[in-house]
Amino acid sequence: MIGFVSQLQAEFEQRADRNIARQQEAYLKNKFQLLGLKTPTRKEAQQAFLLKANLPEKSELTEITKSLWKKPQREFQYFAIDLNRKYLKKIEKPDIELFEMMITDKSWWDTVDLIASNIIGSYFKLFPEEIKPVTDKWMSSGNIWLQRTCLLFQLKYKEEINTELLSKFILALVGTSEFFINKAIGWILREYTRTNPDWVLAFVQTNKDKLSNLSKNEALKLIG
């Protein structure tokens, strides 16, 4: 495990660019340190580490992820997410504890949205019986990133979206002034207009006095 992470770090540091890092850090409101790897550069640097032949055992994944998550530079968290996506077919129920840590530690939209739409979305498809207990806990947590994840885990579900569940989450969160919640409400509704615009129009019309202007504008952006 130590060798895997240290070799990755060496590859990343070899390509570090402080000028790019300053721009990226500013984009993320200076909340995190970065090495200054643009996405294509990072993808190239990490490519060998994600090859099937080089992947660690699934039993090592939690420890490796936590090690990567402790590193100050944001690129290591991005890699940890990409690494976990390689094991989506091997997800186990207890892995939700690791995913929750990834959401609640060093939280910001750049990691949370990837985790929600890719990892949590896959987890709940494998274990639909976990949706209610987990999302009940997250919605009542007061943590905006767990709540945002509840809104966004169905982002790629298309025809499989549970609209009753989505409505429940949205209506539980309306009235907040939290930008990241109102933006997520609009985003998931906007994405669903690609599949079922009539449902979104009806939902927005029914709840127009409850939804924020941000949510409504985002929701209807693709259909006017």
Question: Is there a single domain that holds both residue 221 and residue 117?
Answer: yes
- According to the model, what pLDDT value does residue 13 have? 97
Dmax (CA) of the chain? 56
Question: Is there a single domain that holds both residue 107 and residue 208?
Answer: yes
Q: What angle do CA 42, 81, 120 make, to 5 degrees?
A: 150
Helix extents (H) in 15-60: 18-27, 39-46
Give 202-206 contacts, CB < 8 A, sequence gap 24+: 203/163, 203/167
Question: Is there a single domain that holds both residue 40 and residue 109?
Answer: no
Of 56, 90, 124, which residue is a domain's last? 90
- According to the model, what pLDDT value does residue 203 have? 98
Q: Determine the distance from the C-alpha atom of residue 31 to the mean position of all C-alpha atoms in its chain, rounded to a whole number.
A: 17
Domain residue limits at 119:
92-224
Rg (CA), the chain: 19
Phi/psi at 34 (nearest 5 deg)?
A: -135, 155
* First-to-last C-alpha distance (Å) of the chain: 51
Question: Is there a single domain that holds both residue 119 and residue 184?
Answer: yes
Distance CA 99, CA 149 (A): 11
Residue 219: both structure tokens together: 């929701």
Give buried/exposed letters for 62-84 (b at 16+ CB in 10 A, else e). Answer: eebbebbbebebbbbbbbbbbbb
Question: Is there a single domain that holds both residue 112 and residue 211?
Answer: yes
Distance CA 24, CA 41 (A): 14
114, 93, 123, 28: CA torsion to nearest 10: -10
Inter-CA distances, 153 with 59, 83, 108, 222, Å: 25, 18, 16, 20
- According to the model, what pLDDT value does residue 189 have? 98
Question: Is there a single domain that holds both residue 78 and residue 97?
Answer: no
* Number of domains the chain is built from: 2
Of 90, 111, 131, which residue is a domain's last? 90
Distance CA 147, CA 145 (A): 5
Tens-binned pLDDT, residue by residue, of the chain (224 aa): 669 999 999 999 999 999 999 999 999 999 999 999 999 999 999 999 999 999 999 999 999 999 999 999 999 999 999 999 999 999 999 999 999 999 999 999 999 999 999 999 999 999 999 999 999 999 999 999 999 999 999 999 999 999 999 999 999 999 999 999 999 999 999 999 999 999 999 999 999 999 999 999 999 999 87
- According to the model, what pLDDT value does residue 1 have? 66
Phi/psi at 175 (nearest 5 deg)?
A: 95, -10
Phi/psi at 190 (nearest 5 deg)?
A: -60, -45
- According to the model, what pLDDT value does residue 205 have? 97
Residue 202 burial (CB count, 10 A): 11
Question: Is there a single domain that holds both residue 61 and residue 110?
Answer: no
